[in-house]
Structure 1
């Protein structure tokens, strides 16, 4: 995906969509028309995970020669039906760690931070440096930031109707212009919503976003970081620090629960993104490790139980606005945490476990299937 950042994605999508065949590695090509050969089943759901796709190779006699089922489990991870049934998930694979700070939960993270007298971002950086050099790490972090920045700015400069049939109007550009024309009466929430909505409008248009932690929740982190960059004059090293801290928190959530709306609802998508952003923002604003953990917990806590019920199955309503609210909650949690000691009743580990159990109890109707909740509230004639 990073190779298409500078391409015109609308033209690229149209080119792919108009093709009549696909290349099969080492075997020539086979007939394939996206418009007629992709079948969207809006009635039934897989029992393993609702976010799945069946691939079939069919001959001229309508015989199925090959078939394979894949599932998207969040954060860019793809697994087969067999892997998911066997519990063989890439997010849970952990061998004997050679990293200096191999924390698997927030309790271990805080203990290691206290014992080593290192910040969370420093421990995360040390772990990463076991695999790549400092220059490579900085370069990759900078690439992520530049992509996030592009997402925000592209969204703030685009307008029109989003594809998919809901006739959803892009609003970020107009909102941003209003804020710039009346800057004395703006709030932090106004800016965060404009930045987050800009990113998720880009996602809804099929344009480039950063999967952090997921595409549906891709607006929260860029919005929070862009606000810090634009309004607080963030330095390059602070931006890297932000990204390292957010990835540490996201990794804990992903490892101990899920970041997939198809598994635990939107609490795992926007909730996780908000927790990551809250922790990272608290960090770059001078928070201690305990305050950072507290910020993440508060933000996640106030997303518990949130369903994933996109109207018409499109990541537009309520998803675009919801990312703005996730960014606002992240800012609020970081501010509150900074004014307290970091001591609190419910730990981040306990909150992550509560999210996992809530997701298990949640009906599949509220897990990205568009079969319940807000998704069935809109009457379409």
Structure 2
């Protein structure tokens, strides 16, 4: 959307899996609704509450944890700070007590099966991911608000289309890749430097850098945790976690005791192609297995695609000696700008555009970021992003059982590998001879999204979701 001002911290948000649009977005919507009630001084007047889920939120809501997220949001828990080990106990307490503590303050009766409704056959026109909250008051009146989770944790309130737009004037307002290129050529700035200049409209440079490093801290903790956690993923598909087993095999007994020494232990294994390829897959698997387990992850730009950018960043850190704060900031800043161009010109919501909008966008972001960090020019950065998306066009979203597991987890490994390949192609090419621009591929992606049958847009009504028996393992 033109004139939308998007920060690094809009594209990268710390939260809980498994889905940014189906978990984080509804969670934030629930928080916003209780905030409205509090602002109107009506919170303690609420006698009962109902939640209506529409469209994609209804069809894949249970598999994506939408019901859990809404209960936690209404209950006053925050996805950034909530103890992930307490998610299940809190939800079970709400169900067993038949009560919910609105905003953590006001107790009201709540029957999950009666008050949280999945309207499978109903959709609202603005966006497939819609949720309505209804609060019934002591005086017989009611407060009702509808929210749309539009991807990547972004939430829009009905009747307030400007609610997700920032009116801040940026030094370099960018909506398209062409505008980005013009600003870079005019100033001589790298894409990451231009992004950091824009961020000063919101906060100081030091605050931005500290915030980005905090994002990275959440990313590397997620990778490390995922590489050291075994078991079966929740949800009923009985998918076995693979990252920990792969990590043990690849590390070959080399000692380590924390993230930094782990990186050194990985490096000590060499740089053979198969070895590096396996580690990239391991990094991506680790993140998305954490995501599928209601673990803490970073939207990049979504939860379903949360493993691509971390895997490519970890590849850069480990195999290109990129373990440097400035390089990490450069990587994340560049990725955020590529992602914002896709969000403005197309979508980052699988419910709107299929998986091309999630894995495809994240792969494009990672490809561009890696290209800049490896010394590529601005044109090569955009070329790498275009190549990565070009080879994800038409990718459908067809989660088996409505869970963010099959084929989502493995798709993150594919997206990461494609990003690295795209970066290498761009670095070895002359972008002046490229036949396809990034803006052209963004437009093509949006056209493809609009042409795509709705059953391939995160509904679990098509593709693998209807051809694979739920009792089968992933492989």
Q: TM-score, normalised by structure 2?
A: 0.73
The residue that corresponds to 1:295 in the other structure is: 384
* Cα displacement (A) at 1:17: 3.3
Distance in 2 (alpha carbons) for counterparts of 1:312 and 1:114:
48
> Which of 458, 469, 475 pairs up with 1:368?
458
**Residues 346 and 322 of structure 1: is their aligned pair in 2 closer, same or farther, counting only changes over 3 Å?**
same
The residue that corresponds to 1:77 in the other structure is: 154
> Which of 385, 405, 410 pairs up with 1:316?
405
| Structure 1 counterpart SS, 2:375 | coil
> Which of 79, 88, 93 pairs up with 1:13?
88
> Which of 313, 316, 320 pairs up with 1:228?
316
| Structure 1 counterpart SS, 2:469 | coil
Whether contact under 8 Å (2:402, 2:459) holds in the other structure is yes
1:187-266, aligned counterparts within 5 Å?
Answer: 187-234=275-322, 235-266=324-355
1:1-381, aligned counterparts within 5 Å?
Answer: 8-19=83-94, 20-24=98-102, 28-34=106-112, 37-42=115-120, 45-57=123-135, 65-83=142-160, 88=161, 93=165, 95=167, 98-181=169-252, 183=269, 186-234=274-322, 235-343=324-432, 344-380=434-470
**Residues 339 and 355 of structure 1: is their aligned pair in 2 closer, same or farther, counting only changes over 3 Å?**
same
**Residues 324 and 380 of structure 1: is their aligned pair in 2 closer, same or farther, counting only changes over 3 Å?**
closer
Whether contact under 8 Å (2:297, 2:306) holds in the other structure is yes
**Residues 57 and 99 of structure 1: is their aligned pair in 2 closer, same or farther, counting only changes over 3 Å?**
closer
Ranked by relative contact order (alpha carbons within 8 Å, sequence separation 6 or more), the top structure is 2
Distance in 2 (alpha carbons) for counterparts of 1:26 and 1:355:
42
Distance in 2 (alpha carbons) for counterparts of 1:132 and 1:29:
38
Distance in 2 (alpha carbons) for counterparts of 1:329 and 1:221:
11
| Structure 2 counterpart SS, 1:335 | helix
The residue that corresponds to 2:10 in the other structure is: none
* Cα displacement (A) at 1:253: 0.6
Whether contact under 8 Å (2:222, 2:296) holds in the other structure is yes
**Residues 90 and 232 of structure 1: is their aligned pair in 2 closer, same or farther, counting only changes over 3 Å?**
farther
* Cα displacement (A) at 1:341: 1.8
**Residues 311 and 105 of structure 1: is their aligned pair in 2 closer, same or farther, counting only changes over 3 Å?**
same
CA deviation digits over 1:291-347, x for unaligned, max 9? Answer: 000000000111000011111111100000001100000000001100112221110
Whether contact under 8 Å (1:311, 1:374) holds in the other structure is yes
Gaps of 5+ in 1: none
Distance in 2 (alpha carbons) for counterparts of 1:53 and 1:224:
34
Distance in 2 (alpha carbons) for counterparts of 1:129 and 1:58:
43
Whether contact under 8 Å (2:237, 2:470) holds in the other structure is no
Aligned residues: 373
